[in-house]
Amino acid sequence: MQEEGSLFLIEEERIKKRVLELALEIEKDYKGKKPLFIGILKGAFIFLADLVRFIDMDLEIDFLAVSSYGKFTESTGEVEILKDIQIPIKDRHVIIVEDIVDTGLTLKYIKDLLLSRGPKSLKICALLDKKERRKVDIDADYVGFTVPDRFLVGYGLDMAEKYRNLPYIKELRD
Ligand code: IMP
Ligand code: MG
């Protein structure tokens, strides 16, 4: 029998501190460039909202809604666009904002799709990175926290649409 390890948790204050650090880094990197932030719905809505409020520069925001098949805990790489972005990205500096990179399949699909539309630059900002789960070769340029292979909820992340409103991130166990 295995002894239970402790539940993984990222407290509200720690998230806030890290999001501020990411914001300052992005602000420095994009000085004078008016980047376009594309939040991936629904998971990234809280992260994006907090991130941009720490950035003191001209920027624009749009949203892309996708659903990965395999709705529960595993994605398959088949991605359906539920809502496309509205702002044209040709020749724009684009930053994709995602809640978590797991296998990387969703992000790979989104990245290739957006690259085909000719942005001037394209970077990825992910709050969480489950590195050990990666199935395709893709990495975020800005990462909040590298996390273990546990199922996490809160701060935008859900399990069957529940828990998105938690101000902290916690591991879900049954
Ligand atoms: P990927 O295509 O496997 O990288 O899956 C990425 C998507 O799966 C994320 O945008 C999340 O919506 C979801 N996901 C992956 N891991 C978790 C988790 O631990 N909690 C909640 N959602 C997750
Ligand atoms: Mg998501």
Q: Which of 41, 48, 72, 75 to mutate to test the pocket of ligand 1 (most atoms within 8 A of CB)?
A: 75
Question: What whole-number distance in Å separates Cα of residue 156 and Cα of residue 33?
Answer: 28
CA of 47 from ligand 1 middle (Å) equals 14
**Which atom of ligand 1 is found nearest the CA of 44?**
10
Q: Which of 149, 156, 155 is nearest to 129 (CA)?
A: 149
CA of 105 from ligand 1 middle (Å) equals 10
Structure pTM? 0.94
**Domains of the chain, first to last:** 11-171 (3.40.50.2020)
Specify the 3-state DSSP secondary structure of 153. Answer: strand
In this predicted structure, the answer to whether residue 76 has a pLDDT above a threshold of 70 is no
pLDDT in tens, 134-171: 999 999 999 999 999 999 999 999 999 999 999 999 99
Residue 84 tokens read as 């496309």
Residue 2 tokens read as 């295995």
pLDDT higher for 67 or 152?
152
Beta pairing class for 142-146 and 79-83: unpaired
Q: Which of 26, 73, 74, 68 is nearest to 47 (CA)?
A: 26
pLDDT in tens, 101-122: 999 999 999 999 999 999 999 9
Mean pLDDT (the chain) is: 93
Decide: 99 in ligand 1 pocket, CB within 6 A.
yes
**Which atom of ligand 1 is found nearest the CA of 157?**
21
